[in-house]
Structure 1
Amino acid sequence: MGLRKLSDFAYLYPGSPSTLLRVHNGKLVIVDPGHGKGRHKDLKRESRKLGLEIKAQLVTHGHADHVAVSTKLEAPLYIHRFEFSIAESPLAREIITFGAKAPKGFLVFQFPEEVRVHAVFEWGDDLFGLKALNLSGHSPGMTGFFDLESGLIYAGDAFFGERVLETVGLPYFVDLAGFKDSLGRLLRYADDGYLLIPSHGRPVVEEEARSLIMKNLERVEEIERLVQDLLESPLGIDEIAFKLMRLYSVEITPQKLALNLVPVRAVIAEFYNRGLIDATVEKGLKWRVVKG
């Protein structure tokens, strides 16, 4: 694996998540350093090939797979203020994914180390030649980084590549309305011709970008319809997630099911707040469509 040159100032190192390397004032800024044994060594090696010192790290959000190797890069870490505690605390990272402290080895990706955040930013801030964009929904402070000079947006987990949708089933989000709003904003950037880079998937541009974002949006809207249909009979959240995974022919593992419970909870909260469903207790907490 090696760097893919995106412009005179920007490079992409592959992975899941991929990592953006941005040249700024003769130094290097790393966006979403990622995880994996030896990944920090890979990024240091690539920076040496470019002849540049790593000046800073930016992360789109605080999930474990995006921040794990940040402590080994010896450069200050910047994150949106809504993501501060999620990034720093191993327990907070597990809670945001699982809803409580998770069993060891149960989540798709866990690591027990604390992460040191050196500074927080707000959406709209300019950071080393990149503008922080509000792409919340996947997580509270999900941030995209807009590189006007290079004509690209590193969008983090605001949308997903086709392989993720095929193998997991549900896009991961904690706020249904926020996630859909962010997809709408990304569609406008696609229409303007910017290269859009998901953390988990290939960079896409123009019609391919619009098609992939629409695939994410259509999957979310389809999930909304399916949940309403399923709740003609009372169901618990586990049952809903299980049935959705069966409908999408996704391999059902404890780890994938745990991930999919999160967006299902987000859909349930949205529907309940809009008065579309109600709660009932029938050998457990269950949800059903409001009749009439």
Structure 2
Amino acid sequence: MNFVPLRNSAAAETWYLPARVNIGAIVYEGEAVIIDTGLEAQSGKRICRLAKEAGWRIVAIINTHTHADHIGGNSAIVEQFGCPVYAPDLERDFVKHPIFMAYFLIGGVAPWREINNKFLVAPASTVTAGLKPGAFPWPGRAAGPELTLIDLAGHTGGQIGVACGDVLYAGDAFLGPDVLELHGIPFNVDIEKYLASLSRIRRSTYATVLPCHGAPLDRDALEEVLQVNEQQVMALVDDVYALLEEPCELETLVAELCPRAGKEVASVGSFFLYRSSIQAYLTFLHQQGQVETAIRDNRLFWQRSEKRVSR
């Protein structure tokens, strides 16, 4: 598979490489900015080979967020092109020290072997600068177009989208319908910010929006996909609340919610991914005044508040 054009404009050419994690490329006068780099070094080497075949010189990498499947090819590209790497400011240290992701998932302690794997811990790469939403000048030698960085936090704490002309590279702000069904319990760390990001995309005017997991969408198809994503996450919030008919611990919720979503915990890593996702739903309910915590017998329980606030 080669890079596929998305939309050309006076601003630049926009491309993507269809894969388990879509790779974006914004090209101006032979200079290319790569959006995310895949899971491992092999992905980065493939990007380099295809760029050279197309006559592109990679002048920068922008990571929409810092999960391993989006930053794993960074170092291989930097090795061949010597280009700078940019990542969301809040998450930049996760690129420089990817082991932080494993610490993050399991609660801040040293990760053991089953957690320290390529699916959670990518090869390290140096970050030139952290990015915040707003204008981003073209990083090459050419007088290329100014890019726009969009706040799409929720899937991670600092995720950004990258826009050029009429195209938005949306990272993991939402998933394509088939991928959403496969995941069952989509990973998000902040449901309130996730919902705000969906609204931000919904209000935008980009003609083409590309999620990292799923096919590119035009405006006619976008709204339905955003609704499906929002409905699934909010249904999970309701499921979590329903399971709190009696106070219970987080691990109990993982054990009970996964079968409801048609999911089986198959590994230590997937357990912690599900646990973090469900914790985010609990946090959202807590922010809404729906649930509260209680300590009993040296254990942390989640329970419904006395009166549920309607949303």
TM-score of the pair, normalised by structure 1: 0.91
Look up the SS of the partner of 1:41 in the other structure: helix
Q: How far does residue 133 in structure 1 lie from its aligned partner after superposition?
A: 0.3
Could you tell me which amino acid in structure 1 is paired with residue 18 of structure 2?
P
In the alignment, structure 1 residue 180 sits paired with structure 2 residue 195: yes
Q: How far does residue 144 in structure 1 lie from its aligned partner after superposition?
A: 0.3
Q: How does 1:1-292 map to 2 (within 5 A)?
A: 1-8=1-8, 9-74=13-78, 75-100=83-108, 101-106=110-115, 109-111=119-121, 113-128=123-138, 129=145, 130-148=147-165, 151-189=166-204, 192=205, 194-254=207-267, 255-282=269-296, 284-292=299-307
Distance in 2, matches of 1:229 and 1:244, equals 10
**Any unmatched runs of 5+ in structure 1?**
none
Distance in 1, matches of 2:130 and 2:41, equals 27
Distance in 2, matches of 1:223 and 1:108, equals 28
CA contact (8 A) 1:61 1:87 kept: no
CA contact (8 A) 2:102 2:121 kept: no
Distance in 1, matches of 2:97 and 2:131, equals 18
How many residues end up aligned between the 2 structures?
A: 288
Residue 102 to residue 160, structure 1, CA distance change in 2 (3 Å) = farther
CA contact (8 A) 2:66 2:94 kept: yes
CA contact (8 A) 2:35 2:61 kept: yes
Residue 29 to residue 38, structure 1, CA distance change in 2 (3 Å) = same
Residue 205 to residue 35, structure 1, CA distance change in 2 (3 Å) = same
Distance in 2, matches of 1:244 and 1:207, equals 33
CA offset digits 1:187-244 (Å, max 9, x no partner): 223xx35211111111112232111111110011111211111111112112212322
Distance in 2, matches of 1:2 and 1:158, equals 24
Could you tell me which amino acid in structure 2 is paired with residue 50 of structure 1?
A
Look up the SS of the partner of 2:238 in the other structure: helix
Residue 58 to residue 115, structure 1, CA distance change in 2 (3 Å) = same
Look up the SS of the partner of 2:65 in the other structure: coil
Distance in 2, matches of 1:31 and 1:5, equals 14
Q: How far does residue 154 in structure 1 lie from its aligned partner after superposition?
A: 0.5
Look up the SS of the partner of 1:7 in the other structure: strand
Q: How far does residue 95 in structure 1 lie from its aligned partner after superposition?
A: 2.8
CA contact (8 A) 1:279 1:285 kept: yes
CA offset digits 1:29-87 (Å, max 9, x no partner): 11101123521221111111211111111110111111111011121101121111122
Look up the SS of the partner of 2:264 in the other structure: coil
**Any unmatched runs of 5+ in structure 2?**
139-144
Look up the SS of the partner of 2:301 in the other structure: strand
Percent same amino acid among aligned pairs? Answer: 25
Distance in 2, matches of 1:63 and 1:251, equals 22
Calculate the aligned-residue CA RMSD, in Å: 2.0
